[in-house]
Amino acid sequence: MSAQNPQAIQLVLITGMSGSGKSVALTALEDVGFYCVDNLPPELLEAFITLEQTHRANKVAIAMDVRSAASLPGLPQRLALLQEDPGRQVLLTTVFLDATTDTLVRRFSETRRMHPLSLKTVNDQHRALTDAIEHERELLAELREQALVLDTSLIRPSQLRSQIKDLLGATQAPLTLVFESFAFKRGIPMDADFVFDVRMLPNPHYEPELKPLTGRDGPVAAYLDAQPEVARMRDQIASFLRHWMPQMLQDHRSYVTVAIGCTGGQHRSVFLVEQLARAFAAEWSTRVRHREVEGWPVRTTQPPSTHP
């Protein structure tokens, strides 16, 4: 393979908040065959891609974050130039890992590690840490706007690894719809582009035989499918998305995350996520997440034979 005829390369950029799980994400990518580099200085990006295209890997993952703070302002432009260069053949996916400030403070406290932007000389270390986190958010704001955002506040490392591995299958699609169920009592997902509240719908939680089940189980699905309000909610959400999806595609969006929440995140939101994912799988690449359902898989929804 010559430098004049480089091979196409799949590049995954892992970025985001310190303490949000970037090392876990890199490990997951390494497990599925990516050549991974942590903390590559942005100034070396073009040279590194050239080296990999001409000599070694066609699947590369790079972690870049606030440790290279001085070079971050020029990174979005570097990434755009890589994608626009027809001689490079770079297929880029940028993943931004985020978490609430409280979660990040707790993680740093548990590990007793210093935040990269913390000042050791400050007396109030808790205040120094929260200030550093907010400053980091400001520095990474532009990168976050251009990336697929994953909120790691309430998920385990094993779930994050599953999400990262699954998302690789969506990189060839022009736009991917991610449907996510959640419980309002545990907070709104930070990675959501659209949030729909379905707590006003009939709740299977109050039916003793349905309470221990989830919206993926047949009896719960049958109960909710028989409720006219549930069908209206599903159809109105679908109508909204079908109206705006073409415009979002024109705006060069790669991922759109639609979060649907109910009180406990077990029944109504899960059912509607499953219904909507099946309905849109024939038109768009879709992904399903159930944040509150123990052991849920992140998965691709197969195109249905008929819409619900």
Q: H/E/C letters for each residue in the chain?
A: CCCCCCCCEEEEEEEECCCCCHHHHHHHHHHCCCEEEECCCHHHHHHHHHHHHHHCCCEEEEECCHHHHHHHHHHHHHHHHHHHCCCCCEEEEEEEEECCHHHHHHHHHHHCCCCCCCCCCCCCHHHHHHHHHHHHHHHHHHHHHCCEEEECCCCCHHHHHHHHHHHHHHCCCCCEEEEEEEEHHHCCCCCCCEEEECCCCCCHHHCCCCCCCCCCCHHHHHHHHCCHHHHHHHHHHHHHHHHHHHHHHHCCCCEEEEEEEECCCCCHHHHHHHHHHHHHCCCCEEEEEECCCCCCCCEECCCCCCCC
Q: What pLDDT is attached to residue 95? A: 93
Check if CATH label 3.40.50.300 holds for domain 9-169. Answer: yes
Q: What pLDDT is attached to residue 300? A: 55
Residue 275's pLDDT band, with cuts at 50, 70 and 90, is very high
Q: What pLDDT is attached to residue 242? A: 94
pLDDT for 165-222, tens place per residue?
877 754 456 778 999 999 999 999 988 999 999 999 999 999 999 999 999 999 999 9
Residue spans of the domains in the chain: they are 9-169, 175-300
pLDDT for 240-266, tens place per residue?
999 998 888 877 677 899 999 999 999
Residue 133, pLDDT > 70, answer: yes
Q: What pLDDT is attached to residue 307? A: 35
